[in-house]
Structure formats: structure tokens, C-alpha cells
Amino acid sequence: MEEPLTLRFERDGYAILPRIVAEDEISALRTLFLSEMKGRGEPEKSEGPLLDVAIKSPEVFRILRNRRFIGELSEILGPGFLVVPHSSVALNSFGQFHTDTMAPVMDGETFPHEEGYRLVTVGIYLQDNTEPGGGLRVVPGSHHLPDPFIHMMREKERKRDRYHNHKFLQFLNRVFRYKLFDFNRPFRNFEGELNLPSKAGDAVVFDMRLVHSASHPRRPGGAPPYGDKLAIFFTCGRDNAPTQTYLKWLRALPQNAYLNENRVIDEALQDESRHLGFKLI
């Protein structure tokens, strides 16, 4: 008998929900997002994400009409869960190992350790994840452990500051063609990492405290077989106090001013969401 989804999620900190976007819809979504994101007329910004897609993009909201998807998310998050910012479509984003709670914890927030906490990132990848990347790497169970990045980020900042204040270190680095100091090396691999075998259209749901990284194309020089990497991301949370604290923290960040200025969620969309079993925030 298959283990219940909630037990698996609580133990591992992630779950793959298969076939949330049907195979025949993948290429239409890829074409749509690629034309939207590559044709924005701002070459230097062409790789930046589309933001707030849960409320702005009908094609993205359509995915939330999948009742099996909402049912499985409700198992993980509880009924009437919240779809909170950020939601985005990301093109060719290949971040390194981190947790999604590292930034608020570094700001002094404690909600990831509070009773009832359950905030997840949901990634719907529009290509298979294979050895050359396309999806997510995770460290199973790491959401139960203290966040290693708090110390690692402080160390990185300390080393960077020392380097920037030290002309001789900068000179040495130039001599060695900038290969001597690589402050991101500790973030490239992580002990216990697992490349999740997701297929295009699967949803990968993970606790925001889980150690994870984009799965990188690991063939130096070789183009990944899927071409451009595309993924849709949502953040979802249990309807409770830790989620509200997360929202308060998020809204107060200067780069998120767009969340506080004339941001209106269409009433019909909000009604439909309630009927489907979640609330848009």
C-alpha cells in the first residue's frame, strides 16, 4: 500500500504530484511564456520572472482549477489554504543550494519554528528533470534540521568583506584568473542531495525550510536537451498565524512594494478560488 501523502511529505519535506499539467498543454504553455518573456523589449531583463501570475495569468490560474491538484495540496496544507505571493514564471533560473526561509530567519523572524507552520513552494516544471537539469535537487529531511545557510551566508559575507578590503588578495586573484576565491563553492553541492525525477507537468511541492537547489545542466559547454528551462512557482501556506507573519515580513521588503500598491484581486477569481478550496492573497 502506498504511504499517505502527508506522512511522506512530513518525513521527506517534499512530494512530487504527477501530471498536474496535461502533456498536450505543455508545449502551448512553453510557447506562450517564451514569447512573453523573450519579447519584452528589454534585453537585459529578458530572463527575469513574470510576477504575480496566480492572479494575473489566466493560463496559470487554469492550473489551479485541477481538482486533484487542489485536493493534494489541501492534504498537505489543510483545507482552505492560502496561495500567497510570490507566484511567478521563471525562465532559465538556476539558483544554488538554499532554503526559502533563510532570508526571514536572517532578518530575525521565528515563524518557521512556530507551532502549525506549513509554508510550501510549489514548482511546476515544463520540462523533464534529468541529469542535465530542468527541475529540482533536494536534501530529503533537511527541513527538520537547523538551517545551515544562516551560518554559511554570514561566513560568505565575512569572507567577501575581507576580500574587498584586501588589495593583495584581489591582486592574487587576478593573477590566478579569478579562480582563487569562489565564495559560492559551498552552495553548489550539498551532502545528501537528490535529483528529483520529475516529468514535465508534474508539481514538485516542498517545505520552504528544505535545503534545495535548481538542478543545473551539469554538462560543461553542452546545451541542455530541453532548450530553455521554464517553471511556474507558487507559494502556499496553511491559513494560520505563521503564514500571516511570513506575509507581513514579505510585504515590508522594499523590493515587494508592488504587493502594497493598487494590487486588486478580481472578485470573480476570488469567488472561484473559494469554491475550488483555497484563497488568493
Ligand X SMILES: O=C(O)CCC(=O)C(=O)O
Task: Return the residue of 4, 80, 95, 146 that touches ligand X, per CB under 6 A.
Answer: 95
- DSSP letters, 76-139, are HH-TTEEEEEEEEEEES----SB-TTHHHHHTT--GGGSTT--EEEEEEESS--BTTBSSEEE-
Candidate segments 88-96, 147-155, 174-182, 251-259, binder of ligand X by CB under 6 A: 88-96
Candidate segments 90-98, 138-146, 185-193, 236-244, binder of ligand X by CB under 6 A: 90-98
| C-beta nearest to ligand X: residue | 214
Q: Which is nearer to ligand X, 60 or 136 (CB)?
A: 136
Instruction: Give the count of beta carbons closer than 10 Å to the beta carbon of residue 28.
Output: 11
Residues 209-238 that bind ligand X (CB under 6 A): 212, 214, 231, 233
Residues 112-171 that bind ligand X (CB under 6 A): 121, 123, 136
Candidate segments 3-11, 30-38, 89-97, 105-113, binder of ligand X by CB under 6 A: 89-97
Residue with cell 482552505: 80
Question: Quick check: 100 binds ligand X (CB under 6 A)?
Answer: yes
| Cβ 52 to ligand X shortest distance, Å | 15
Using CB under 6 A as the binding criterion, the count of chain residues that bind ligand X stands at 11
Question: Quick check: 72 binds ligand X (CB under 6 A)?
Answer: no
Q: Which is nearer to ligand X, 111 or 206 (CB)?
A: 206
| Cβ 99 to ligand X shortest distance, Å | 8
| Contact assessment for residue 126 and residue 29, using Cβ atoms and an 8 Å cutoff | yes
Candidate segments 39-47, 58-66, 92-100, 159-167, binder of ligand X by CB under 6 A: 92-100
The pairing of beta strand 203-207 with beta strand 230-237: unpaired
Q: Which is nearer to ligand X, 106 or 175 (CB)?
A: 106
AA identity, residue 4: P
| Contact assessment for residue 207 and residue 237, using Cβ atoms and an 8 Å cutoff | no
φ, ψ of residue 67 to 5 degrees: the values are: -65, -35
C-alpha cell recorded at residue 175:
593573477
| Cβ 140 to ligand X shortest distance, Å | 16
29, 64, 92, 126, 173 from 60: Cα distances, Å:
9, 7, 18, 12, 46
Task: Return the residue of 6, 74, 92, 93 that touches ligand X, per CB under 6 A.
Answer: 93
Cα separation, 21 vs 132, whole angstroms: 22
Instruction: State in Å, rounded, how far the first CA of the chain is from the last one.
Output: 37
| Cβ 207 to ligand X shortest distance, Å | 11
In the complex, which residues of this chain contact ligand X (CB under 6 A)? 90, 93, 95, 100, 121, 123, 136, 212, 214, 231, 233
